[in-house]
Amino acid sequence: MRIFVIVGLALLLTACQRQAVTSSTNAPAAPESRATGSSNSSETGDAKTTAGAPVEFTTIGITPDKTNVAYRIKVNTDRTIDEVHLVLKATDSKGKVSEDTIVWQNIVGSTRRPIESGKTYEDQTALDPVTVKADVSLKEVLFKDGTKWNAR
């Protein structure tokens, strides 16, 4: 009976950690601050945008401790943004690729704050320990008025 309780708690903890990954905390950062990427990650400073995009998205890369992937979001619109959806493609040491959606919101500590026009935000998302390569790309931007902009 104990083994079932332990397995259940482990599953619950994993689900909580996964939720924490998709709503990770962040703080506004100056555009000139930059994390160092890993050689197994996307190149530092590669903007993944299209003309007229409401945000400029940049993958910074895997953090030096290899536990997170870092990225930068610069707001280029006056429209009020509710959240930004990103796609995380992670490759493990066996070559298996997994894909997850990251829901980014401007949460500082445990308080959700407005996403402000003209500001640049840096954030990180936790990686599975077996990840050797990670790429994050912009999927869509959801606005407060219920409309969205698709990057694809």
Question: How far from the centroid of its chain's Cα atoms is residue 128's Cα?
Answer: 14
7: pLDDT confidence band, cut at 50, 70 and 90?
Answer: very low
> Hey, how many other C-beta atoms are within 10 angstroms of the C-beta on 30?
9
DSSP string, 97-108: EEEEEEEE--EE
pLDDT digits (tens, 9 = 90+) for 90-106: 999 999 999 999 999 99
pLDDT at 19 (0 to 100):
38
DSSP 115-138: B-TT-EEEEEEE--TTEEEEEEEE
| Structural domains present in the chain | 2-150 (2.60.40)
Residue 152 pLDDT grade (very low, low, confident, very high; cuts 50, 70, 90): confident
Q: What Cα–Cα distance (Å) separates residue 44 from each residue in 29, 51, 58, 63, 97?
A: 16, 20, 8, 11, 21
Each residue's pLDDT tens digit, 29-44: 333 333 323 333 333 4
Q: Which residue has the higher pLDDT, 141 or 27?
A: 141
